[in-house]
Structure formats: structure tokens, C-alpha cells
Structure 1
Amino acid sequence: MPGTDKITIFYKDASLVLSAARAVYWPAEKMLILSDLHLGKTGYFRLHGIPVSTGVMQDDLKRLAALIELFKPEQVLVAGDMFHHRFNNDVHLFKDWRQSYKELSFLLVPGNHDRHLDIGYADLNITLTPEKYECGVIGFVHEMQEADPGRLTISGHLHPGYMISGKAKQLLCLPCFIKGSHHLVLPAFSQFTGLYTRASAGHTCYVISENKLFEF
């Protein structure tokens, strides 16, 4: 991940570093922020006879490890859907990976998948927050329903993407951050997700392409 692009944005007195590795770093809180890991999704597909390699999830965890080594956070906050399905072998792989970061605090703002799962979060050394979690001028939810004009709400859930048209009328869909006046929607951290491409009028999109960020 060396050379991965970064853009710093500001909200009131908070600075946030957007990374093309699909995460945000909040220096003041030493917090790495991401959403929609969907751990266990590849195992769920394999359980239903669809051959998806565990390498997909392992690549996501390698990217997360690289971000931890780069920013050296004291805490990681996942804005929902850390897990996709019930406890399966993929979750065992995460548990093994977690052993390398025992001292790192993991916070999970529960998402629509997480709320319905019977997973021993304490055994994984993960702390569940309320569904709306506030830290200074930043608030966190999984799916934003309404922005709070008093703070920046960071959310996930949408798996946002940006559609780009080529000269030969080909279409390319790329993951992105969506920034409004009082909210920031994160791209899905997992690369094994679809993308929501409905236009976001009046918003700024930070599009991710080959470890680079482009503002639209």
C-alpha cells in the first residue's frame, strides 16, 4: 500500500484524512474509521455452493493491517456491517488476525447485518457502541437518515460508487467517499461488494482509482 493517495478534509476544528485504501484517519482521536467489512461474506457464499476464495477477505485484512501500520491508531471504529453472516470460518480467520493487534481498541457501530448476528463480540475483543455514537464534533451511524447540522455524521451502508463515462461510451464504476455539508459516507472497505451509483447532487465525491483519489 505504499504511495496510496490521501486527501485531508476539515469540519469545524476536526481534520480527517481520507485514504484511497477506503478508510479515514482522525488524527486528534488517533482513530482509524471504516465501514462495511462484511467479514464472513465469502464463507456465506461458499456455504451456498458459490466458489469464492478466502483470499478476498485476506486481502481486505492485509489492507487493514497496512493502514494500521501507516497511521498507528489507538482505536479502529467500524461504522457498521463489520460482519455479514453468522459465525463461520472467515470469522475464525479474523480472530487469528486480531491476535496481532491485541492492544488496539475496536469499536463497532452496529449495522443492519451486525444486529441480527449471534457473534461473541467480547471474544473477538470488539466493543459495541450505541447505534448512534458521538465523539466531539463527529457522530457515527451505519445508515444515515438525517444529518445533524451541529456535527459531521459519518456513515456507511450505501457502498457508494461513481460512474465515469469513457470516450468509447464505456462505463466505469469506482468506489468513492461522498461529502456533504454535515455528513460523510464511506466506501465499503470490503472489495467484495456492489456499488450504489445514484447521483449525489450538491455533494463532493472523492473517487478511488488505483490507489489515487480524485475530487468530483
Structure 2
Amino acid sequence: MVPVSFTFPFCGDEFVLTKANALYWPRERALLVADLHLEKASFFAKHGQMLPPYDSRETLERLAEAVREFGARRVFTLGDNFHDSEGSHRLEEHAAGMLSALTRVTDWVWITGNHDPAMAAHSGGTIAEELEVAGMVLRHEAKRGETRPELSGHFHPRVQMTVRQRHIRRPCAVVSSDNAGSGRMILPAFGALTGGMDASDPAILAALQPASTIDAVVPTARKLARFPLWRHAA
């Protein structure tokens, strides 16, 4: 099944946000994902909390599907790629093979995060603390005071909505805009074993300042829904 996806404008360019929590940048033929947290289950198992050890396989299968869907030539992961810096050593054979294949067929860049600051390139690709691509800053955590266009992760944002009298929490992107026509975006977490933070949490709103507006953006079955989170007082 092809994931539902919607094109929307951001910082003078076009992007595609999918219900699978990936972002595609057509002009750069680049797929962006945040917070994979690969090998989270094995990390907890090391500390006595046994979880089914299939989270990495599930995450990589969905990532491979997104690469195929869009024909992506580049992949940027926006930090917390593994749940800890040693996670790449714990990948089971099947998942390691999947990841190796993905990094061979794409120009793959790992942006490091607070969970994996010392990760090594055991799985292919290249590693950077942050990167600027076509005027867009790619980093793990949004930098308060940043005035350039920015894409980041870290917060695992989720929004609560009411659909047919049911309260639903869904992963979302959080998008800010400023009076100069620029903006910044926090991506939803992509990993199979990731929780979430309320998109209206003060930490998220503070990270995206300065801004004139901040919205939660959610792909639904029929449209890209926007939920206002913050507006600058006139």
C-alpha cells in the first residue's frame, strides 16, 4: 500500500509530507527522516527490559518503501539514528543487510543527535553534526534564534485531534513561519519504537522562536490538516 502523502509549500520550495512520517524534497530528490532510534529494543534488553527485537527491521522496511515510492537519490536522517552510539554494532544480520543496501543505492547522510553523538559509519553513508543544503539547515534539534530555513527532529511531536467524537493522537510536523517569508520545520519521529511530545509543548514553541506563526501539520486520509499552535500577538 502506497502511503498517503501531500505536497505543500515551505520556504519558497515544494515538499511532500507522508502519513508514514517522512518528508520528501522533490527538487533535491531527497528523503528526510528524523529519530529512527534503531536498536532501541536491544538497548532496553541490555538493561533488563525485554522488548520484541524487531524495531530496526520494521523501521528500515518502511524507510526502504519510502525511498522506492519517491525514487529518492539522497537520504538525510536528522539525528537519533540509533538509540545509542553503539547501536550499529547490535544490528541483527537481516536489518544490517537492509541498511547496507539502502546506504549503497542512495547518497546517505547521518546527522547525529543527542542519543548517538559518537556513532561511527559502520553501516555506510557519511556522518555530520549538521549540514546546509540549498540554503536549508539540517540539524537534529531546532536552534532557538535561527533565522535561516531549518529542518530538524528531536521532539517527536504529536497533535491531538477529535474525529467523529474520538480523541486521536497522531505524529505531526511542526511548522513555523516568520515575517520575512522564511520558516522552520520539526519532523515527526520515524522510528517504530518512538513516543511523542505534545506539539504545543512550551519547549517546542520556544525552540522555533522567532516566529509569527507555528502550526501542527498532519496528513489525514484526504488532506493536509493544519492546527494553529501559536500566533504572535499583534
TM-score band by shorter chain is: 0.7 to 0.9
Task: Give the match for residue 9 of structure 1.
Answer: 8
Q: 2:173 aligns with which of 173, 177, 199?
A: 177
Q: 2:156 aligns with which of 156, 159, 172?
A: 159
The 1:93–1:211 alpha-carbon spacing in structure 2 relative to 1, beyond 3 Å, is farther
- Structure 2's unaligned 5+ residue stretches are 178-182, 206-212, 228-234
Task: Give the match for residue 120 of structure 1.
Answer: 120
Equivalences, count? 209
The 1:69–1:138 alpha-carbon spacing in structure 2 relative to 1, beyond 3 Å, is same
Q: Percent identity, aligned pairs only?
A: 27
* Aligned counterparts of 1:10 and 1:138: Cα–Cα separation in 2: 14
The 1:13–1:210 alpha-carbon spacing in structure 2 relative to 1, beyond 3 Å, is closer
State the TM-score, normalizing by the size of structure 2: 0.79
Cα offset for 1:100? 2.6
Cα offset for 1:46? 1.7
Q: CA RMSD in A?
A: 2.4
User: Are the equivalent residues in 2 in contact too, given 1:5–1:213 (CA < 8 A)?
Assistant: no
- Structure 1's unaligned 5+ residue stretches are none
User: Are the equivalent residues in 2 in contact too, given 1:5–1:212 (CA < 8 A)?
Assistant: no
* Aligned counterparts of 2:16 and 2:48: Cα–Cα separation in 1: 40
Give the secondary structure class of the aligned counterpart of 1:154. strand
Cα offset for 1:190? 0.8
Give the secondary structure class of the aligned counterpart of 2:198. coil
Cα offset for 1:24? 0.7
Task: Give the match for residue 190 of structure 1.
Answer: 191
Letter matched to residue 11 of structure 1: F
* Aligned counterparts of 2:146 and 2:110: Cα–Cα separation in 1: 21
Task: Give the match for residue 216 of structure 2.
Answer: 205
State the TM-score, normalizing by the size of structure 1: 0.85
Q: How does 1:60-99 map to 2 (within 5 A)?
A: 60-85=59-84, 86-87=86-87, 88-90=89-91, 93-99=94-100
Cα offset for 1:173? 1.9
Give the secondary structure class of the aligned counterpart of 2:218. strand
